[in-house]
Amino acid sequence: VNGLQARTFGVWTLLSSVIRCLCAIDIRNRTLYYITLFTFFLALVHFLSEVFIYHTAELTIGVMAPLMVASFSILGMLIGLQYLEVEELSQNKKKN
């Protein structure tokens, strides 16, 4: 890893964390929710490709930790998405 790659990865991590924090603040914003979900899919695909396609990383705890975080976050957000849809339907019924 050279300096440019390290800084790029750092900026990508910072951007992802900002998006995730904004989603936590405004969790009912569907667009932001989908963007946040996409960041976890992107992280999962990135780390899986580094291990299984490019073979630039080994399946150690340093790689497994982000894989587990991304996987559990995707699962949790997909479950949470159902609650957002139910809440949106109930709010629409109240307005009518």
62 half-sphere exposure, CB direction, 13 A CA radius:
5
pLDDT at 88: 79
Residue of 16, 13, 10 lying closest to 35 (CA atoms)? 16
- Using CB atoms within 10 A of its CB, is residue 19 exposed (0-12), middle (13-18) or buried (19+)? middle
Q: What is the pLDDT of residue 84?
A: 87
Domain extents for the chain? 3-95
Of 36-40, 63-67, 88-92, give the lowest mean pLDDT range: 88-92
Output the CA torsion sign for 87, 17, 79, 76: negative
pLDDT score, position 28: 93
Q: How far apart are CA 84 and CA 34, in angstroms?
A: 12
Query: What's the predicted TM-score (pTM) here?
Result: 0.87
